[in-house]
Amino acid sequence: MNSIINVSKKFVPAQWLLYLVVFIGIHTVFTTINRAKNLFINNSGETAAIQEAVIWYRNSYFETSKIYYFDPFVPYYLYKDPFNDLEIQIANKNVFISNGIINQGLIFWDNHFAPNEGGVPLNLLSESSDFQQLKEFSSDDGFSVVVFKKIR
C-alpha cells in the first residue's frame, strides 16, 4: 500500500506537466489564428490606397450612400457584408450599362480590378456627366483608387 502512495506522489508533477502542455497548446492555437487573419492580405501600395480611401469614407458624410466596388478587399476594410446589396455591391460593366447605379451612390474605382475584371476604364466615369469625382488616392507604386459619386 505504501508503494502505491509513493508512486502516486511521483506522478503529481505529471499533472502539472499536463496542464502546461494543454495551456501551451491552446496558446499556440489562438496565436496561430490571430496571425493567420492577415495571412492573405499583402501590405502593398494597393492595400494602402484602399485603406486610405476607406478612412476618408468613414470620416466623410457619405456613410449612408450605397457603395459600388471592384476590389474585393473594399467590403473587408469597410466591415460591410458583401452580400448585403442594400449597402454595398460589386460593380462591373453590366451594372454601368444597365444604369444600375443609384443616385448618390459611391463608386470605388481602382486601376487594377476595375479596368481588367470589371471592364470599366477610368474615362467611362471621368468623362461622364453622370458621375462626379470626389477624391483620388495613390500609392508609390502607381496604384490608385478614385471615388466617384453618381449625381444623375
> Tens digits of per-residue pLDDT, 71-85?
998 999 999 999 999
Distant-in-sequence contacts of 31-37, Cβ < 8 A, 24+ apart: none
pLDDT at position 62 is: 82
pLDDT at position 93 is: 86
Residue whose C-alpha cell is 476594410? 77
**What is the chain's percent helix, strand, coil content, to nearest 5?**
45, 15, 35
pLDDT at position 48 is: 86
> Tens digits of per-residue pLDDT, 51-74?
999 999 999 888 788 999 999 989
Cα three-residue angle 136-138-144, rounded to 5 degrees: 75
pLDDT at position 64 is: 81
Rounded to the nearest integer, the mean pLDDT of the chain is 84
* Residue 43 in grid coordinates: 501590405
Q: Please name the helix (run of DSSP H) or strand (run of DSSP E) that holds residue 10, with its range, or none.
A: helix 2-36
Domain ranges of the chain: 1-40, 45-150
pLDDT at position 39 is: 58
Please give the DSSP secondary-structure letter assigned to residue 102: P
pTM over 0.75: no
